[in-house]
Amino acid sequence: MAMKVAIVLLFIVSFTYGKSLSSDNFDYTSDDLIDYVNSLNTTWKAGKIFNDQLMNQGGSLMAPEDLIKSKSNLVNNQDVEIDFPEHFDAREVWPNCDSIATIRDQGGCAACWAVNTVSVMSDRLCIKSNGTINVQLSAEEVISCCEDCNLGCGKGGYVTKSFSYWIKHGIVTGGSYHGDGCYPYEIKPCYKSKTGKIACEKTTQTPECRNECASGYNKNFTQDKYFGEKFDNLWGMKSIMLDIMTNGPVVAQIKQYRDLRSYQSGIYQHETGEMLGYHSVKLIGWGNDQGVDYWLVANSWGTYWGEKGFFKIKRGHNEADVEHNVFTGLPKL
């Protein structure tokens, strides 16, 4: 009897959505995509989020030679014997480090690779200094001044090269749009439109590099620099968990599928739509909800998206490649 009911339900869903069971034809926020995901009664809920594309597709790049270089920094702790806690949240462990709980907004620029990487650098600088250096480093400097890192707001850039820039050149302070610090973010954040959906002013124009601090800032550009001393490529779930628990949040490059844009709550797993490119996010912890293991993630699409800018994604099965290309570094004090 149960088998017959299941077959009937599958037929109804198939008839209702047609090709949508493998649906590459949904818009980001179409009612069909939302209804389809929610009809599956899966681990997450979809909702009408964006008016259109947030930015150019993808944004987090990995050149073959860059990948080879990162593999030489590979850290594999898969054989480590540690009794990991069921729940870990970096915001709770290091509550005095403001950057960990801060959701940045990359706006209409394909800058996830810089925004989330620099956010991780800021977190780790605070953690390693025992909270004495509580600043937000400038994603704007990396986007504008790291020529090796960046292909522009329309095409994206490289996470590992951002770490290399941090080590070689250092990065000044400067957090959110028109915020505090030497070199604040200049790209307008997304906003909630009158319809209740998120709207963004897309840009392909990368801000020009400048080697001076904002007017009125109390340090010069050289004095305000903070440097890194190494970066690592973490391999496997245990390696990632151990590094987060020891040193703080890490950067993960995930496959950005069409349905992620409509994520509203729950534990994300890819259900429908084609891959749009890679997207960099910040892993800040992990947990388990009703038997489903997840990573706790900070995104860079502002606080209107997801769970006030955060989301969860399935852990332990390399969902959307979340455990495949994970990078981190340590600050130089």
Report which DSSP code applies to 170.
-
Which residues does 16 contact at the CB level (< 8 Å), separation at least 6? 39
Indicate if 279 belongs to the active site. Answer: yes
Are 191 and 198 in contact by the 8 Å Cβ rule? The answer is yes
> Biggest alpha carbon distance in the chain?
75
Report which DSSP code applies to 207.
P
What is d(CA 110, CA 200) in angstroms, rounded to the nearest whole number?
12
In 3D, which of 227, 229, 230, 228 has the Cα closest to residue 73?
230
Are 248 and 100 in contact by the 8 Å Cβ rule? The answer is yes
Q: Check 112, 153, 190, 200 and give the catalytic one.
A: 112
Helix (H, G, I), strand (E, B) or coil at 156: coil
112 Rama class: left (phi>0) / alpha (psi -120 to 50) / beta: alpha
Helix (H, G, I), strand (E, B) or coil at 330: strand
Q: Check 56, 150, 247, 299 and give the catalytic one.
A: 299
Q: Which two tokens stand for residue 73?
A: 């920094």
CA 223-176-327 angle, to 5 degrees, is 80
Active site residue ranges: 112, 279, 299
